[in-house]
Structure 1
Amino acid sequence: MTTTLITGANRSLGLETVRRLIDAGHTVYAGMRDTAGGDDARALGAHVVQLDVTEQDSIDRAIATIPELDVLVNNAGILGTSFGVDDLDAAAISAVLDTNVTGVVRVTQAALPLLRESANPVIVNVASGVGFPRWLTTPGRDEYPVPAVPYAASKAALIALTVQYAKNLPGFRVNASDPGYTATEFNGFGGHQTVTEGTDATVALASIGPDGPTGQFHDRDGVIAY
């Protein structure tokens, strides 16, 4: 049995990842800031744990409830409050980085002792094509019109963070996923993909074996060449 922890698991992409990995036979711990919003995850059969990626004590308590761990899906993330340059300040970017980058480090570091006990430790960091410079500069791509600085910077950092973790943990499979432009609350349900399509890459990467890829960035069509 594969045991998996998913952060930001109360709705949208996180909740759909919970559903699909439970269907695939995983024992899933669904981490979320407010467990009062965890009824949907509980109904799917997940173990709901209170986990706020910005609070170390919350993370430590959550990890202490998990007896073993094979897969960590760092899904929790925020869009932030700055969507251009005129509304950008240090506080705005710090808040996004604290959740989307530092939060991933907090959870991953806390989970490493359990993951190191696994025969097939896997980490999936849910990034975004908005953090991929080639797509930000390619007219016609969904990412091209996005003006937000903090979110793009945080996802670019997360992709680099993934590569560096993979290099430092050769016995692990550490990869980043790009959900693509998916209809969620994040974008006012403006995306053209379903949440199932948006979780294809994450679910595939969470299901790889010891001979699977590491240090890569994938969307639902496969590997994205750096």
Structure 2
Amino acid sequence: MLRRVADRRAFPLRSSTRGPDSPTALRAFDTNAVGLVRVTQAALPLLRKSANPTVVTISSSAGSFWAVTNPDRVGRTPKESARVVVRLATLDADGPTGTFQDESGEVPW
């Protein structure tokens, strides 16, 4: 039985004045979006056997317009980030779902 899956994917896009080319953009999408679906689907048979199946998808705030334009927003260490992941992965069945969370709670996306 599998109770929790934590998944973090990253495929950085190198910055240029023209942006990424199509193959690079497709690789990034495949890694960051489709990869999440693949990992979740692979875990589903075991998650279905759990009384409280949990999937925690880990993301950086770099994709959040709110986070990158908020002057009061500060970065955190890997240790601080791990605390957030552990907190979310150990919530009971009544915990938040379908939201982006950090150490302070829900993050506007």
Give distance in 2, aligned partners of 1:90 and 1:141. Answer: 35
* Contact map agreement 1:120 1:209 (CA 8 A) in 2: yes
Following superposition, which runs of at least 4 residues in structure 1 exceed 4 angstroms of deviation? none
SS at match of 2:38: helix
139 and 72 in structure 1: CA distance in 2 versus 1, 3 angstrom threshold = closer
Residue equivalent to 1:212:
95
120 and 126 in structure 1: CA distance in 2 versus 1, 3 angstrom threshold = same
- Paired residues for 1:114-193 under 5 Å: 114-136=46-68, 138=69, 140=71, 181=75, 193=76
Give distance in 2, aligned partners of 1:141 and 1:79. Answer: 25
Q: CA RMSD in A?
A: 2.0
Identity level (%): 36
With normalisation by structure 1, the TM-score equals 0.44
Q: Which runs of 5+ in 2 are unaligned?
A: none
- Give the deviation of 1:221 after TM superposition: 1.8
Residue-pair matches, total: 109
Give distance in 2, aligned partners of 1:204 and 1:84. Answer: 37
SS at match of 2:5: strand
Residue equivalent to 2:5:
72
Residue equivalent to 2:105:
222
Letter in 2 for 1:215: G
Greater relative contact order structure (CA < 8 Å, 6+ sep): 2
Q: Which runs of 5+ in 1 are unaligned?
A: 1-67, 143-179, 182-192
With normalisation by structure 2, the TM-score equals 0.85
- Give the deviation of 1:135 after TM superposition: 2.8
139 and 205 in structure 1: CA distance in 2 versus 1, 3 angstrom threshold = closer
Residue equivalent to 2:77:
194
Letter in 2 for 1:69: L
85 and 115 in structure 1: CA distance in 2 versus 1, 3 angstrom threshold = farther
Give distance in 1, aligned partners of 2:36 and 2:60. Answer: 14
